Amino acid sequence: MTPSQFVTTLAQVRLPDVFNPYAECCDVFDRADAARRRRKNLEVFLEAALDHDVRTIWIARDLGYRGGRRTGLPLTDEVHLALVGQLLGGIELKRATKGPAVAERTAAIIWQVIKRLGQPVVLWNVFPYHPHEPDDPFSNRAHTTAERDTALPLLKALIDMFKPKQIVAIGRDAQQTLAELAAPVTGVRHPSYGGQSEFIAGVLKLYGVSEERCQKSFLAAG
């Protein structure tokens, strides 16, 4: 499956209390062509990762309403779109929303660590959409087992596309799902809810980078 085919398939899913950013537009924050922009962002990101022979995938649980729901890129908020483009050879990624750029804490930690590692990774979610509470589209909830099963073929297709040498599961939920797949998976703590230091330490250990030096650099950067 090519990135274009993958994104087209991704956009076809519709589920209750789930926002599909590759097919739907938010009446409050989105531009009129927001879904198209997010599809393009993801397609360009995947194509650039293939061109750069990126063989590591980091996988978390769901899209958040301040991050991937707005940008179309997993674990990525609008504040870090330019950094993503730089690390992948200067690709152009466009905002799909109106108003000020919105930051997400998890995305900030993820991309500051990637920046300090100095090499791109493919980012994904077990459930690549934004699940929310009923009648509250700007909330986050964990996806259900049925929702996960709907999205598993996409996760497998992504793994087949990149044939990664290493998969990093971010958080327990992602670890449990990925344990069911025949893939080389290493788990690290999710950076939210007080897990920032453990996440940084776990990733740096995987990459053989000095934890003390990078930890001080990251925390100084805020």
pLDDT at 93: 96
- Return the closest-CA partner of residue 218 out of 60, 57, 194, 199: 199
What is the C-alpha separation between 95 and 121, in angstroms, rounded? 21
Q: Which helix (H) or strand (E) holds 59?
A: strand 56-62
**Is the pLDDT at 219 greater than 80, yes or no?**
no
Q: Which two tokens stand for residue 98?
A: 């109106």
Read off the pLDDT of residues 50-77 as tens digits, 9 standing for 90 and up. Answer: 999 999 999 999 999 999 999 999 999 9
**Is the pLDDT at 221 greater than 50, yes or no?**
no
pLDDT at 137: 95
Q: Which two tokens stand for residue 133?
A: 């509470």
What is the C-alpha separation between 218 and 222, in angstroms, rounded? 7
pLDDT at 212: 57
Read off the pLDDT of residues 180-208 as tens digits, 9 standing for 90 and up. Answer: 886 779 999 999 888 899 999 999 999 88
Q: Are 126 and 151 in contact (CB under 8 A)?
A: yes
Read off the pLDDT of residues 141-166 as tens digits, 9 standing for 90 and up. Answer: 999 999 999 999 999 999 999 999 99
Q: Which CATH class is domain 3-221?
A: alpha beta
Domain-wise residue ranges, the chain:
3-221
CB-based contacts of 54, cutoff 8 Å, min separation 6:
120, 121, 122, 162
**Is the pLDDT at 123 greater than 80, yes or no?**
yes
Read off the pLDDT of residues 70-121 as tens digits, 9 standing for 90 and up. Answer: 999 999 999 999 999 999 999 999 999 999 999 999 999 999 999 989 889 9
pLDDT at 194: 83
pLDDT at 101: 96
Residue 94, CB half-sphere, CA atoms under 13 Å: how many? 13
Q: What's the whole-number average pLDDT of the chain?
A: 92
Residue 99, classified by CB atoms within 10 Å of its CB into exposed (0-12), middle (13-18) or buried (19+), is: exposed
pLDDT at 64: 92
